[in-house]
């Protein structure tokens, strides 16, 4: 694609549909990064997709965006000022090709949970995008559904792929998501074995036998298998997130507690950042005010200086005129 520097269209950007469908049972909708007006000269009219186009297309579906989570690792595509002031925008700088780190995952979960808590009385959507709205976007959305909502990894991936209109492409993202099922299954089986030993009244087994794994793991209905979410259908009505699917192992409970502490820490850091931003704004306003006063003072001095020069000039002309009259 033609174009240089900051107006160069992302590679393969035109190959993907701009906006996916809302994922049933969630508030999520995925899309590729919208491009500001300066990119238009490198795109055909039918290829363009700007922040204004994004808002318009969502409104045409009788829906409303309440939050945009931007995962791109640059700020050159569009700016916050190009979005409506009522639409919340959050930037999480996320490297492409690599599995997002723990801090990024926690930050994403925190923003989603905070938005859902603050918007229980409406149905506003959470828009998520990276460059193509596919790999980083798909990973973090699916990771939230798996870790927080208890969804099976393959079901989460399938749901995202159908609603986005393109499948997640990077195998390292898919493999990492699928590992969550194996990890959770092992933790549930371990918890089931502990519960079966604690229920009986027989004396404890010798230490040598404790090393061996149990021959059978008691299964409680609905505890070792997570409930499958239905695939997206045209008739299905979106439902609110917030229901856990399946039992949590002891390791998972500890993991949840750790994530909750880290989320609280992130919230505290964000509040501090907001306070710092507020102080910076006040400082900037004060600086602007001082500069305006300084500029006004300089303008006033300059005006006085010009008036004085003009007055001297008139005085000089008048003096010459009087002298000429006197000589005559």
Q: Mind telling me the catalytic residues?
A: 130, 136
CB 136 within 8 A of CB 130: yes
| Residue of 19, 39, 41, 43 whose CA lies nearest to 29 | 19
């Amino acid at each position: 694609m033609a174009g240089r520097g900051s107006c160069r269209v992302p590679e393969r950007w035109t190959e993907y549909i701009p906006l996916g469908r809302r994922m049933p049972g969630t508030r999520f909708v995925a899309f590729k990064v919208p491009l500001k007006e300066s990119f238009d000269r490198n795109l055909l009219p039918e290829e363009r997709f700007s922040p204004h186009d994004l808002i318009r297309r969502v409104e045409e579906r009788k829906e409303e965006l309440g939050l945009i989570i931007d995962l791109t690792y640059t700020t050159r595509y569009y700016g916050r000022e190009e979005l409506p002031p009522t639409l919340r925008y959050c930037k999480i700088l996320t490297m492409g090709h690599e599995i997002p780190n723990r801090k990024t995952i926690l930050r994403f979960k925190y923003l989603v949970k905070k938005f859902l808590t603050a918007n229980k009385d409406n149905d506003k959507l959470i828009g998520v995008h990276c460059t193509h709205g596919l790999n980083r976007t798909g990973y973090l959305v699916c990771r939230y559904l798996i870790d927080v909502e208890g969804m099976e990894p393959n079901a989460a991936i399938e749901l995202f792929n159908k609603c986005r209109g393109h499948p997640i492409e990077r195998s390292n993202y898919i493999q990492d998501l699928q590992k969550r099922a194996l990890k959770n299954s092992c933790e549930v089986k371990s918890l089931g074995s502990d519960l079966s030993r604690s229920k009986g009244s027989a004396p404890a087994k010798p230490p040598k036998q404790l090393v061996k794994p149990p021959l059978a793991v008691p299964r409680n209905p609905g505890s070792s298998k997570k409930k499958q979410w239905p695939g997206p259908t045209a008739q299905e009505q979106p439902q609110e997130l917030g229901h856990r699917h399946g039992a949590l192992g002891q390791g998972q409970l500890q993991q949840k507690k750790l994530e909750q502490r880290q989320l609280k820490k992130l919230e505290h850091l964000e509040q501090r950042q907001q306070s710092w931003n507020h102080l910076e704004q006040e400082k900037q306003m004060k600086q602007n005010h001082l500069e305006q006063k300084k500029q006004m003072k300089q303008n006033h001095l300059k005006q006085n200086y010009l008036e004085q020069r003009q007055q001297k000039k008139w005085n000089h002309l008048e003096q010459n005129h009087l002298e000429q009259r006197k000589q005559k």
